[in-house]
Amino acid sequence: MSLPDRPRPDLDRDSTPWWEAVRRHELLLQRCDGCGTLRFPPRAVCGRCRSREAGWVPALGTGRVASWTVSHQVFMRAFADEVPYAVLHVRLDDGDGVFMYGNLAGTNPAEIEPDMPVEAVFADVDHELALVQWRPR
């Protein structure tokens, strides 16, 4: 029995530069040109100062587990061979209130602890797509 194709990210005007960087194994954050606030996910307007001007800066690639979920059920058949898997919500070391998410890599979901230090790693799906994952450090 073959699995159905996995869903792919739906790139838009705001997120395309981020996904292109991830494909190059670079982790970026959007930074507001008006007030310097770092933000993720990418979006058109700053939530702090409402500026529409923003650029991209390299992220440190490290953080701590703020929250997580572990899927034991097969909610999508395309991921049936992955369960159980964990998705982490990571508080980045780049600044207060900057979070990123991604699957856990390199360890069993049962090993996750609150505030666990993690680092970003890149998982190549194919030649057009890579994903950010997080592993313990």
Q: Facing residues of 91 across strands?
A: 64, 99
Residue 57 contacts Zn ion per CB under 5 A: no
> Could you tell me which stretch among 1-9, 29-37, 72-80, 108-116 binds Zn ion (CB under 5 A)?
29-37
Which is nearer to Zn ion, 49 or 80 (by Cβ)?
49
Which is nearer to Zn ion, 44 or 83 (by Cβ)?
44
> Could you tell me which stretch among 18-26, 33-41, 61-69, 89-97 binds Zn ion (CB under 5 A)?
33-41
d(CA 65, CA 106): 15
**CA-wise closest residue to 99 among 109, 107, 87, 82:** 87
d(CA 135, CA 45): 31
Which is nearer to Zn ion, 34 or 136 (by Cβ)?
34
Binding Zn ion by CB under 5 A: which of 44, 49, 80, 125? Answer: 49
Within 13 Å of residue 18, how many CA atoms lie on the same side as its CB? 22
User: Which residues lie near Zn ion (CB under 5 A)?
Assistant: 32, 34-35, 37, 46, 48-49, 51
